[in-house]
Amino acid sequence: MFTFLLTEPIHPAGVQVLEAEGVVRLARGTDEATLFAEMLDVDGVVLRAVGRMTRAVMAGAPRLRVIGRHGVGVDNIDLDAATALGIQVVNTPHAVTEGVVEHTVALLLDVSKRLTYADRRARAGDWDVRYRISGRELRGRTLGVIGFGRIGRRVAAACHAGFGMRIVYSDVVAAPDLERDLGARQVPLEELLHTAEYITVHVPLVPETRHLIDERALRAMRPDAILVNCSRGPVVDEAALYRALSEGWIAAAGIDVFEQEPTPKDNPLFGLDNIVVTPHTATATEEALVEMALVARDVVRVLKGERPEYPVNNIP
């Protein structure tokens, strides 16, 4: 019988997989000290967005053999330490794609049409807001996609097919198939920032992408540009974004992720009318939550000595 630790609740579909093989326990907290204390008898962990698997936490877990990342990003796991300690890390790379794609498009539409702002004003009895605001259409405009992986490509395809948007993208890897099918163009980041009317970010959080969208990048954007971030919060410098939105460097933004999560309720961004925010819920669909929870299958595979389907690091 194995012992499993959940850092946060997961869908029952994943819990059932784990319970068939052992005991499942929910951590009492996600700070480093609490996780360290919780891990002494744990064979496998399922980790969501809150909490970190640091070297100290993993080194203090003598039985730990596998960490299942409920999602894609592994920036809250010290991969070098995990590999050195012989701990397999697995994730769910396909589970979140559609949820994030749809959330990205929803934010593009919401911000463009000023739906959330109009909703707030209508609820406050301000019907005349309809005479003071106007949205704009996505049709025929240029979408700049920073990070042209699985999600970025699907966003580009959806926006091109649905709204006839022109696509430019910035990535280290070319996508000749989508250049052919969508008329997409690979351009340097600077050119994308200068030319795109809509910019959506889909990069992992690594040292090279931390504050990729900083003051310099925001000042390089068009004054009518709309920025959407459904990747990782620290990819965008929030202090610079606040200045960009409040001083008119760019037109608006839609943000699902924050530098600090949970973000404080007095986050200055919340006081602005030209931003729509959601609390890291792009992946919160019934389908995605089930698929992410089923990382439990790979957790069990590793503990049984089988090869995982989605390994992140290489463990002999």
pLDDT in tens, 145-157: 999 999 999 999 9
Catalytic residue list contains 191: no
* 53 and 112 inside one domain: no
Catalytic residue list contains 261: yes
**Contact in structure between 15 and 24 (CB atoms under 8 Å):** yes
Whether 314 is covered by a domain: the verdict is no
Catalytic residue list contains 232: yes
pLDDT in tens, 119-134: 999 999 999 999 999 9
Residue 89: give its domain's CATH number. 3.40.50.720
Q: How confident is the model at residue 49 (pLDDT cuts 50, 70, 90)?
A: confident
* 188 and 247 inside one domain: yes
Count: domains in the chain: 2
| 127 CB burial (10 A radius; 0-12, 13-18, 19+) | exposed
* 19 and 62 inside one domain: yes
Whether 247 is covered by a domain: the verdict is yes
Q: Which of 38, 232, 238, 297 is catalytic?
A: 232
* 132 and 259 inside one domain: yes
**Contact in structure between 81 and 54 (CB atoms under 8 Å):** yes
Whether 242 is covered by a domain: the verdict is yes
pLDDT of residue 95: 94
* 241 and 183 inside one domain: yes
* 30 and 158 inside one domain: no
Whether 309 is covered by a domain: the verdict is no
Q: Report H helices in 169-276.
A: 176-182, 189-195, 215-220, 238-247
pTM reported for the whole predicted model: 0.89
Q: Which of 261, 287, 306, 309 is catalytic?
A: 261
Domain with 299 in it: 2-95+286-303
Q: Which of 121, 280, 291, 297 is catalytic?
A: 280
Mean pLDDT of the chain: 97
* 292 and 147 inside one domain: no
